[in-house]
Structure 1
Amino acid sequence: MNTQNPGGNAPVIDVIVEAGNWPDERFLQDLFNRSFTAACRGADLKFLKSSELSVLCTNDQAIQALNKQWRDKNKATNVLSFPASEPQDDVYGPLLGDIVFGFETVEREADELGIEFQAHLTHLVVHGILHLFDYDHQEDDEAELMESLEVKILSDLGLENPYIDRPLMPDA
């Protein structure tokens, strides 16, 4: 099996900006690539070298429709992750999955938290990537593991702990 080492190159990340006042696609592409590489190092994620990941940047209306269709929750959310394949011997790919972001919710949360949009989006990208690799936060022990990985990965990216004085990532 031809696998990618955690410190190696990111998979092909296809960024689609569908709706919302997102930064330009080159900026987003760089943010997603850096976040993916840091997540791979920080969580020892393994994937096939030929892997692909799709990222959709859209608005709250579109993400609300997806949240209702796939999770039976009729409200907008910040990020949704859709894993594409089961791992073989803890190696994921070649299709890693899709991550979708809702602009207005991400922007509102960043404002409410008093942090830069880019920092909050980076946290959500890392969070979404971990979901693609079967990390979850439904149970307390899973949430603690996922949160600790996020804190480590974000620290490696030069960002502060997003959970200081805040609850775990809500299940929106």
Structure 2
Amino acid sequence: MFGRAIGTRRTLHARLIAVPLAGYAGALLGYVVHAGAPERFWLDFAITMNIVGVAGAIAAALAGASDLRRHVPEAGPARSAARTHAVLNTFAFALFTANLAVYAPRWGDGPGTDASAGVTLGALGLAATFAAVGLGRALVADHNVGAPPRTAADDRPPAPVPPPASGRAPTGIN
């Protein structure tokens, strides 16, 4: 599942995680702004971003489960970190799903809708997501999980660029 055809060495899971992260952050932003200035737009924005975050989390979780099965050794510190990463992401998913259960029926209500639950659940969910992102980064950087195998070519310095044959720097394209 490495994306060499499109020029990246990251797995599908690593490419998808930006969607729930942006959705969760946008939802929290919407709930916070709606709490301070209760307008219909901000509540609808928060609900929309919440939907984007939850849907993106489902896609990222499916790809992450595949990575767990295919790239993480059965025993050792990488497996333990991967399980904690999954638990934190599941916790964040549950919090933002609860936000949807509370606020989706209020789509279009706007003023008069209290956003305190959205702010609280969103802040806890985003904090759990950031903790999971840190563990995911550690899995790749420290345990080399989800990264393609290194080759000897990866460790070679780039070849030096020879000077121009005339001894002068090129002046432009002819």
> Structure 1 or 2: larger helix share?
2
TM-score (norm 2): 0.24
The structure having more radius of gyration, on CA atoms, is 2
> Structure 1 or 2: larger strand share?
1
> Which structure is richer in relative contact order (CA contacts within 8 A, separation 6 or more)?
2
TM-score (norm 1): 0.24
